Amino acid sequence: RGLLTRLNTPICIVCYLAAIVWFMGLAFEPFTLRTDMSENAMGSTMVLLRGASAVPRQGVRSSQKTGAVSTWLVKAMQSRGLEVFTQSFSRKLPFPDENKERYMVRGTNVYGILRAPRAPRTEALVISAPCSPGDSNNQAVGLLLALAQYFRNQVYWAKDIIFLVNEHDLMGTQAWLEAYHHTNITGMEYSPLQGRGGSIQAALSLELSSDVITSLDLILDGLNGQLPNLDLANLFYAFCQKLGVLCTIQGKLQRNDWDTAEGYTHAAQTMMLMVLKQACGRSWGDHGLFLRYHIEAASVRGINSFRHYKTDAATIGRLLEGMVRKLNNLLERLHQSYFFYLLPSLSRFVSIGCYMPAFGLLVVILLLRALDLWVHLGAPALAAVEGVTEAQQPSGPAVLTVLTPVVISHLTGVALYLLPVHLQEMAVEHFPVSETEAVVLTAVAIYTTGLALPHNTQRLLSGEGTEQGWKVLKLTALLYLAVLLGCTALINFSLGFVLAVTLVPITASMTPHMPKALSALVMVLLSPAFTILYCVFIYQELIEAPVSVSEGWMLFLSVISQGILDHALYGSLVYPLLALFIYPCWLMFWNILFWS
Amino acid sequence: MAAHRCGLSLVFILIFSSLACHSSCDSLENANEDTEEKQSVSDTPREVNSDGSIAAEDLNERRGRSTDAELDRRDGTRTSEALTPAAAARDEFQEELVIRPLHSGDIYASFQFRTLWDTDFLQEGQKVSHYRLFPKSLGQVLSKFSVRELHISFTQGFWRTMQWGQPFIPSPPGAELWVWFHDTVSDVDGNWKELTNVLSGIFCASLNFIDLTNTVQPSASFKPLGLGNATDHRFLRYATLPREIVCTENLTPWKKLLPCGSKAGLAVLLKSEKLFHSSFHSQAVHIRPVCQDEQCTSKAWELRQTLNVVFDLYTAGQGKKEWSLFKMFSRTLTEACPLATSSKVYVDITDNPEGELFELSPATPLLSQAVVLGDRRTYSVFDLTRAETFGQLRSLNLLLRWKGDGGEMLRPLLHAERYVAGFGLQTGEIHTVIYNNHPYRAFPVLLMDSVPWYLQLYIHTLTVTSKSRDNKPSYIHYQPAKDRHRPHLLEMLIQLPPHSMTEVTVQFERALLKWTEYTPDPNHGFYVGSSVVSALVPSMVAMNTNFTQDQPLFSSFVPVKEESSYFVRVYTEPLLVNLPTPDFSMPYNVICLTCTVVAVGYGSFYNLLTRTFQVDEPSLPLAKRLANLIRRIRGVPLLT
C-alpha cells in the first residue's frame, strides 16, 4: 500500500505510456494473428463459379429518368421469377439533414424473394443494394438483378434469398428491418411486409459507385461499433484472393513489407481508421443496421481509384455468387470466429484478448488515483478516531458538496441532450440560421455554458470548498469515469479507448492547486468536444484528404448534427452517451479545478 | 363459461358438417372425388362429354349410393354385427394421378393410391392373418395398437399458397403424425410411444423423436375423417417434427406398401432422382375405417397413399416452357397396375378451355368435371385400363406446352403466415397472420398452435386483432406447458371478418436450457412447428350466384348446401428461433483434448498392463495352485 501511494504518479505515467505503446504495437504484424476461416461449412472455396454476365443497368437508368423505379423493379424482379413485394415508408427527420439534403423522407423499398426449393421458409439470406435517385448505385441494382436471374435457375439453394433494393439508403434499410421484425424503435412510419423468409442468417450490401471498378472495399463497422463475425471478412478475402480481385479495407490496400517503417505505418493507419470509424458509432453502410438483429452483415463497395487494374461486373458477380453460396451452406449462424477484433489489414486481425490490455492499462490509472485518494482521505480520519462526534458532524455538508456538482453536471448533460432538437424552432425565429445550424449551434452553446455553470453554483452554495470536499468529489468522479469507460469499451472498444486516451491524463492529474489558466486551457483542449474535433482532423489526414481549420470546423459541426441524427433515426448511442454521461463526468473534474 | 360451451358446440357443428361430407364421399368408389381427401366435398361429377350411357348410369348409381350411405349413418343404424365374417374379401386397389398446371407456371403432380381392406379386426374374435392387397406391416400395426385412424405425412418444402393455390392434401414441412386410438385402449401414451417407434422403423424416419414434449391432444382441430364420431380427444395424439428431412430413404418404404410396388402402374413414375429435384415434395399415408357397401353394413379399412410434387419451371425447364411425363419423371406410362380396378390420369384444364394457356397432347375426348376445393374444375381423363390410351407407341407421354406467362400472385380465400418479431435473445413475439380474402363473407377458423416448452408463452399478452380492432375468440383452449414434459397447446376459434387480415400475437420468453439439452448445432436455432388453421371456407362456386353462363337458371338460385363451403386446412411456416446459447467452443475443445489424451494414455497403458511377456508355462495342478495362493498371501516364494 505504501508502495502504491509513494510511487503512484510514476506508475500512472508508466501505465499511460505502456498503454499507448501497446496500442500502437497492435498494428505490428508479428504481434497480430492471421485470419483463417473458422466455420467448417464455409471451409473450402472450391465452388465452380459461373456468374451472371448480362447486367441490365440500362433499364435502371431509363426507369430512373421516368421516375418509376419501383414499378420497373417490380416488373424486372417478377420476370426473373421472384416473389416480389413492396414496402412504403415515410419519416420526418427531427431537423433537415444538410449532408443528404432531406427532411421529409418518403420512399419505397422493393424486394423479391427467391424461394429455395424444398426449404421450409425458416432461413434467409439478404442481398441489398441501395437505390437512390441519381446515377449513384444503378450499377449495383443491375448486378443484383443479374444475380437474381442467375440464382433463380440454380437448384442448390437451401435458404431463401431476399433481394432488397432500398430507397434512401439507411432509412430504407431501417424501415425494412423494423417491418421484418415488427419492431419500432425510432418512430418510422412504414407499411407492413407481406412476404418473409424466416430468420435472416446473413446479409450483404452492395454499393458500386461507378461503372469502372478497380477494387472492392469491405465495410464492417456497424451501428454502435458493432462488428459482424470475422468469418464474413475472411470469406470476402478468400474469394478476392481466388478471383484475383483487389480488395481493400478502410480503402487501404494490403502491403507485404511489414518489417519496413512504411509497412508498419500503413498497417497502423488502417487500424487507426478502423478505430475512428468504430468510435463514432454510426453505420458506415447499409449492413450496419442488420447487426442489431443478430444478422451478420457487411457492405461491399466498388471503388474506382483510377488504377490500371480493372474488375468487370461479371467478376464481382462471381465473387458475390461465391459468398452467397458459402453462406447458403451454413448450418448454423456464423459464430465460430471472433465478434470483437481490429483489422490492421484484411489478412491480419487483433483479437479482443490482445487489445483489451491497452485499455486496461488506461483504466488502471484511474483506479490507482482513486486508491491514492482513498488512502489520503482515510489518513486524517484515522487521526481523528477519538472525536467520533467531530467526524460525524461534517459528513452532512460533505455529501451535499459532492452531490451538488454531480447533480448540476448531469442536469447540464440532460439539457445538452434534449434542448438542441427541441429549441430549434425558437432558435430559427431569433437568429438568421437554418434548422440544422440552429441545432448544432445550440448544442455548442449549451456545451460552453456548461463550463461556466458548475463552479459558480458551487461557490454560491457553500462559499468556500474544503480540501476534503474536492477529494471526495474527485474520488467519486474517478470511479464514475472508470466504470463509464469500462462499460463503453466492452460494447465499443474504440470509443472507450479514444475517450480514455484524452480523458485519463487530465482527470488523473487534476487538483485545485494547479495554475488555473494553464490547466483550464489544457482541460478544455482535452474535453470531449475537442476530442471529436481532433478525430475529425486525424480522420481526414488518414484518408489522405487533409482539411484546413475552417473546413475542419465545418466538418466538426456536421459531425455533431450527424451524431444527433443517427441517434434519432437509427438509435445510435454515441450522442446520448457523450451528452448524458461523459460530458457531465468531465464537468465534475472541471468543477474540481475551480474548487476554491 | 357459457361462452365457452357455446364455442364448443360451434366447433362440433363445424366438425360434424365436415364429417358428413367426408363420409358421404367415402362410400363413393369413384376416383374423381379421391383427388382430395380432407377437404372433400360431396361432389356430383358430371361427365360432360361423350362416353355417354355408361357414364350417366354410373353417375346415377353413385348418387344413389352416396345419399343412402349418408342417411344410414345419420339414422345410426349399424348393422355391421349382422355381417357374416365369411363374406368374400373384396379388397380393392385404385390409383390415380392428377396433373395441375399451376398459375405460376410450375406444375403440380398428385398421386393417390387407395387400397381397401375388407375386414374389421377391431371386432371381437377377429384374428387377421391373411393379407391380399393391404400391406401386412401396416395391418399388424393397426391391430396391435388398436389404431382407429392414422395419418402420417412427410414433407420437404413449403406449399406456396400465394403462388400455387390450395393443395389437394395439405401438410406441414417436416413430419406430421396424428392418430386416433380406439376407445378401448387404456394406456394411450404407452401405445403412442410404441407406435411412433414402430412407424419410425417402417418409414425409416426419425419419428422416434416424438415424445411427450412434442405431443399434444388438440381438442377441436383434428377430428376423425373416417367412420365413427369419436370426440373424446383423450384418444387423439398429434405431433410434428418440423426438422425432419425427407429423402429417398423415406420414399422406398412408402413405395413398398403399394400392391404393385414400383413395378407397374403409375408407381413406375416414382423415381427418386426426379421427385427430389422439385420445389415441393410431400408423401403421406392415411388409414381410416370406411363403409364397405351402400348400406354400410360392414366396415372396411382404407389406406390412402398420396404423393404430391411440384416441379419448378425455371430450374428444370432449361428455358423451354414444356412439360412431359418423361421430363418430370424420366419415365412414360405403359400399363396400369394389373391389380388396380381403376387407374387414371387427370389433367386439370379448367384455366385452359380454348387452349390459350397451354397445349396438351395427346388430346383425349374424355372430360370430367368435379367441384374441388370449392371450385368447379374440368379434367381431361386418361384411363390406363384401356388399350387405346397408349396409342400406337404403347406408351403414354403427356406433353404440356406453355403458351401463356404466369407469375402474378394469387389471392387464395384463406391464407396464413407466421413469423417471430423482435430482436435480442430474451423475449420475442409470435405473430400469426390469417387473411380472409373473401369479398363479403365472414367465416370462423380454428387456429391451433403447439409451441415447445422452451419458449415460455406469456398468455396474458395474447391479442387477436382484425381490421385494427380487438377480435375476441369465441372459444379458447389453452394448455400451458410443463418444463421438459409438455408443450403449450393453444386452440382458438376466431371469426374472420370479410376481406380482412387478422393478427394473433403472443409474447414469449426464451428459456435457458441445461447444457445437455442443446442440440449438437445450437446456433442453428430451435424449431417451432407450423400452426394449423382449419376452416370451412365459403366456396367459389357458391360465390358466383350471378354466374349463369352454363347453368340453367333454376339450378343457381339457392346455393347448394354441399357446395356452399368446403373444408380447408392451412399450415403456416415453421419458425426457427434462436435461444440464448453458451459458447460451446471451450468445453468442446476440452472434451476433445481430454478424450484424445485419455484414448492415447488408456490405450498404451492397457496394452502395457495386459500384455504379458512371460514364457508360456504348462499349467500347474490344482493342489499346487492352491498352495501358491496361500504362499502368496503369506509372502513366501512360490512353488513352480
Mean pLDDT of B537-546: 64
Interchain contact B281–A (C-beta under 8 A): yes
Tell whether the model's pLDDT for residue B131 goes beyond 90: no
Q: How far is CA B220 from CA B50, B178, B181, in A?
A: 44, 13, 16
DSSP calls for B409-468: PP--SEEEEEEEE--SSSEEEEEEEEEE--SS--EEEEEEEEE-TTEEEEEEEEEEEETT
Three-state DSSP at A559 gives helix
Distance CA A283, CA A170 (A): 8
Residues forming a β-bridge with B220: none
Segment holding B95, helix H or strand E: strand B92-101
Closest chain B CA to residue A79: B407
Using CB atoms within 10 A of its CB, is residue B345 exposed (0-12), middle (13-18) or buried (19+)?
buried
Q: What is the DSSP letter of A39?
A: -
Q: How far is B107 from chain A (nearest CA, A)?
A: 14
* Residues 6 or more apart in contact with residue A195 via CB below 8 angstroms: A83, A85, A111, A113, B162
Tell whether the model's pLDDT for residue A98 goes beyond 60: yes
Tell whether the model's pLDDT for residue A42 goes beyond 90: no
* pLDDT at site B433: 94
- Please judge whether B575 and A81 are an interchain contact, meaning their C-beta atoms are less than 8 angstroms apart: no
Exposure of B391 in the CB half-sphere (CA atoms within 13 A)? 12
Are residues B532 and B571 in contact, defined by beta-carbon separation less than 8 angstroms? Answer: yes
Are residues B223 and B462 in contact, defined by beta-carbon separation less than 8 angstroms? Answer: no
pLDDT tens column, B65-83: 443 444 344 443 333 333 4
Q: How far is CA B573 from CA A42, B276, B570, in A?
A: 27, 20, 10
Chain A residues closer than 8 Å to B279 by CB = 115, 117-118
Chain A residues closer than 8 Å to B407 by CB = 78-79, 81
Which of B429, B170, B149 has its CA nearest to residue B284? B170
Tell whether the model's pLDDT for residue A16 goes beyond 60: yes
Buried/exposed code over A199-233 (b: 16+ C-beta within 10 A; e: otherwise): bbbbbbbbbbbeebbbbbbbbbbbbbbbbbbbbbb
Closest chain B CA to residue A295: B423
* pLDDT at site B194: 93
Distance CA A259, CA B58 (A): 94
Q: How far is B201 from chain A (nearest CA, A)?
A: 24
pLDDT tens column, B197-247: 999 999 999 999 999 999 999 988 888 888 876 678 889 999 999 999 998
- Please judge whether A333 and B578 are an interchain contact, meaning their C-beta atoms are less than 8 angstroms apart: yes
Which of B48, B103, B105, B98 has its CA nearest to residue B351? B103
* pLDDT at site B197: 94
Which of B333, B362, B363, B392 has its CA nearest to residue B49? B363
Closest chain B CA to residue A119: B157
Residue A460 C-alpha cell reads as 454560491
Q: How far is A153 from chain B (nearest CA, A)?
A: 5
Inter-chain Cβ pairs, chain A and chain B, closer than 8 A: 94
- Please judge whether A332 and B431 are an interchain contact, meaning their C-beta atoms are less than 8 angstroms apart: no
In chain A, count of helices (H) and strands (E)?
21, 12
pLDDT tens column, B410-429: 778 899 999 999 988 899 99
Locus of grid cell 453460396: A325
Are residues A297 and A202 in contact, defined by beta-carbon separation less than 8 angstroms? Answer: yes
Q: What is the DSSP letter of A336?
A: S
Chain B residues closer than 8 Å to A77 by CB = none
Distance CA A578, CA A559 (A): 13
Which of A357, A352, A364 has its CA nearest to residue A13? A364
- Please judge whether A83 and B423 are an interchain contact, meaning their C-beta atoms are less than 8 angstroms apart: no
DSSP calls for A166-235: ESTHHHHHHHHHHHHTT--SS--EEPPPS---SEEEEEEEEEE-SSSB-EEEEE---GGG----HHHHHH
Mean pLDDT of B100-112: 86
Closest chain A CA to residue B174: A120
- Please judge whether A333 and B524 are an interchain contact, meaning their C-beta atoms are less than 8 angstroms apart: yes
Question: Could you tell me how many residues make up chain B?
Answer: 640
Higher pLDDT, A26 or B72: A26
Three-state DSSP at B383 gives strand
* pLDDT at site B41: 36
* pLDDT at site B637: 78
Tell whether the model's pLDDT for residue B133 goes beyond 90: no
Mean pLDDT of A90-99: 85
Three-state DSSP at A242 gives helix
Residue A517 C-alpha cell reads as 489558466
Mean pLDDT of B391-395: 79
Q: How far is A333 from chain B (nearest CA, A)?
A: 6
* Cα angle: A342, vertex A346, A350; to 5 degrees: 25
Which stretch, A414-418, B6-10, B310-314, has highest mean pLDDT?
Answer: A414-418
Interface of A with B (CB under 8 A): 78-79, 81, 83, 115, 117-123, 152-155, 181-183, 195-196, 198-199, 292-294, 331-333, 335-336
Residue B151 C-alpha cell reads as 395419418
- Of chain B, the percentage scoring pLDDT greater than 70 comes to 76
* pLDDT at site B489: 94
Which of A305, A362, A361 has its CA nearest to residue A506? A362
- Please judge whether A81 and B174 are an interchain contact, meaning their C-beta atoms are less than 8 angstroms apart: no
Chain A residues closer than 8 Å to B281 by CB = 118
Distance CA B263, CA B331 (A): 12
Tell whether the model's pLDDT for residue B24 goes beyond 60: no
Which of B205, B292, B228, B269 has its CA nearest to residue B16? B228
Distance CA A412, CA A402 (A): 16
pLDDT tens column, A370-389: 988 888 887 665 554 444 44
Chain B residues closer than 8 Å to A182 by CB = 419, 421-422, 429, 431
Q: How far is B6 from chain A (nearest CA, A)?
A: 35
**What letter represents residue B102's amino acid?**
L
By mean pLDDT, which of A304-308, A418-422, B46-50 is the weakest?
A: B46-50
Which of B454, B531, B526 has its CA nearest to residue A199? B526
Tell whether the model's pLDDT for residue A110 goes beyond 50: yes
- Please judge whether B574 and A83 are an interchain contact, meaning their C-beta atoms are less than 8 angstroms apart: no
* pLDDT at site B231: 75
- Of chain A, the percentage scoring pLDDT greater than 70 comes to 89
Distance CA A167, CA A105 (A): 10
* pLDDT at site A8: 82
Q: What ipTM score was computed for the predicted complex, to two decimals?
A: 0.87
- Mean per-residue pLDDT over chain B, rounded: 78
Tell whether the model's pLDDT for residue B57 goes beyond 50: no
- Rounded to 5 degrees, φ, ψ at B489 are -130, 125
- Pairing type for strands A215-219 and A247-249 reads parallel
Tell whether the model's pLDDT for residue A270 goes beyond 80: yes
* pLDDT at site B82: 38
Segment holding A343, helix H or strand E: strand A341-345
Q: How far is B99 from chain A (nearest CA, A)?
A: 19
- Rounded to 5 degrees, φ, ψ at B108 are -115, 125
Distance CA A279, CA A273 (A): 10
Residue A211 C-alpha cell reads as 461503372
- Mean per-residue pLDDT over chain A, rounded: 84
Residues forming a β-bridge with A349: A33
Distance CA B146, CA B180 (A): 9
Distance CA B159, CA B161 (A): 6
* pLDDT at site A180: 94
Q: At what angle do helices A583-593 and A516-525 cross, to 10 degrees?
A: 170
Cis peptide before B362 (omega within 30 of 0): yes
Three-state DSSP at B309 gives strand
Tell whether the model's pLDDT for residue A482 goes beyond 80: yes
**What letter represents residue B34's amino acid?**
D
By mean pLDDT, which of A392-401, A419-428, A474-483, A528-537 is the weakest?
A: A392-401
* pLDDT at site B51: 38
Distance CA B438, CA B474 (A): 21
By mean pLDDT, which of A5-9, A250-254, A331-335, B493-497 is the weakest?
A: A5-9
Q: What is the DSSP letter of B173?
A: S
Segment holding A452, helix H or strand E: helix A435-462
Distance CA A281, CA A269 (A): 19
pLDDT tens column, B554-568: 655 555 554 577 888
Tell whether the model's pLDDT for residue A201 goes beyond 70: yes
Q: How far is CA A304 from CA A51, A100, A376, in A?
A: 22, 22, 61
Residue A230 C-alpha cell reads as 470475422
pLDDT tens column, A210-261: 778 888 999 999 999 999 999 999 999 988 888 888 888 888 888 877 778 8
Distance CA A542, CA A534 (A): 12
- Pairing type for strands B299-311 and B280-291 reads antiparallel
Interchain contact B592–A (C-beta under 8 A): no
- Please judge whether A155 and B585 are an interchain contact, meaning their C-beta atoms are less than 8 angstroms apart: no
* pLDDT at site A162: 95
Chain A residues closer than 8 Å to B573 by CB = 120-122, 198
* pLDDT at site A59: 57
* pLDDT at site B22: 43
Closest chain A CA to residue B521: A332
Distance CA B162, CA B408 (A): 9
Chain B residues closer than 8 Å to A196 by CB = 417, 419
Locus of grid cell 469507460: A485
Nearest by CB to residue A331, choosing from B524, B575, B577, is: B524
Interchain contact B315–A (C-beta under 8 A): yes
SS3 string, B478-543, reads EECCECCCECEEEEEEEEECCCEEEEEEEEEEECCCCHHHCCCCHHHCEEECCCEEEEEEECHHHH
* pLDDT at site B17: 44
Nearest by CB to residue A117, choosing from B163, B278, B521, is: B278
Q: How far is A85 from chain B (nearest CA, A)?
A: 10
Q: What pTM, to 2 d.p., does this model score?
A: 0.84
